[in-house]
Amino acid sequence: MEIKAEQVKQLRDMTGIGMMECKRALQEAGGDLEKAITILRKKGYARAKDKMDRETSEGLIGSYIHTNGKIGVLVELNCETDFVARNEEFQTLVKNIAMHIAATNPKYIAPEDIEDEVLEQEKEIIRAQFKDSNKPPQVIEKIVEGKLKKFYEEICLLEQAYIRDDKMTIAELIASHIAKFGENIQIKRFARFEIGQS
């Protein structure tokens, strides 16, 4: 059964869970929204949304240095308790996120971190590409929306496909760990260094 994008979006809006998890749950539920929510709840994902507003004052700073010594990353991953911060799986998550940053070179954590002028400039570039296309303005705006999504996936850490499992985004990876640990987890900040790059 084919699952429509609108169904996935609706389920995501209702649960706050990543697109791929929502799509899989809808496929498993044969397109039934209520059954999909039940499937997600059984997997523990639905609890993740409730925890995302809780304060995170513990955590770890992790690092990753690429084997050639020319790329290095520092990342601060926060959680709610020292107990989770000391957990081996949490430490592995920090390391994997640092490794992901080294490989993909994101500029921001989330789309809302992008400065307005950067966003406007990107929109203008996209609109200019379709200036002579004779497409109606509303169609061009839809295209701009679609291309911005791609832009976010390139430069925003949470929107990127995880390098170790491209079926999930970094946001979905974190949501799965929130569900597993029962605590809020947030990427606070990161810095990526590359020899010869400022």
Q: Taking residues 105-131, report their average pLDDT.
A: 90
Domain boundaries, given as residue ranges, for the chain:
5-43, 58-110+156-194, 115-154
First vs last Cα of the chain: how many Å apart? 49
- pLDDT of 77 strictly over 90: yes
Q: What is the pLDDT confidence band of residue 141, given thresholds at 50, 70 and 90?
A: confident
H helical segments located in 29-73: 33-43, 45-51
**Same fold: 5-43 with 58-110+156-194:** no
Task: Say how far apart CA 161 and CA 164 lie, in whole Å.
Answer: 9
The gap from C-alpha 65 to its chain's centroid, in whole angstroms, comes to 23
E strands present in the chain: 58-65, 71-79, 161-162, 165-169, 186-194
Task: Say how far apart CA 99 and CA 46 lie, in whole Å.
Answer: 28
The pLDDT value recorded for residue 78 is 94
Task: Say how far apart CA 60 and CA 160 lie, in whole Å.
Answer: 22
CATH fold for domain 58-110+156-194: Tetrahydropterin Synthase; Chain A (3.30.479)
Mean pLDDT across the chain: 87
The first and second tokens of residue 32, run together, are 């039934």
Q: Taking residues 11-23, report their average pLDDT.
A: 75
Domain at 5-43: CATH code: 1.10.8.10
User: What is the spatial order of strands in the sheet that 186-194 belongs to?
Assistant: 58-65, 71-79, 186-194
Q: What is the pLDDT confidence band of residue 51, given thresholds at 50, 70 and 90?
A: low
Q: pLDDT for 99-116, tens place per residue?
A: 999 999 999 999 999 999
Task: Say how far apart CA 139 and CA 125 lie, in whole Å.
Answer: 16
CB atoms within 10 A of CB 99: 18
The pLDDT value recorded for residue 162 is 95
The pLDDT value recorded for residue 191 is 96
The first and second tokens of residue 198, run together, are 């400022």
Q: What is the pLDDT confidence band of residue 36, given thresholds at 50, 70 and 90?
A: confident
Q: Taking residues 36-48, report their average pLDDT.
A: 70
The pLDDT value recorded for residue 87 is 92
Task: Say how far apart CA 46 and CA 82 lie, in whole Å.
Answer: 24
The first and second tokens of residue 148, run together, are 């911005």
The pLDDT value recorded for residue 33 is 81
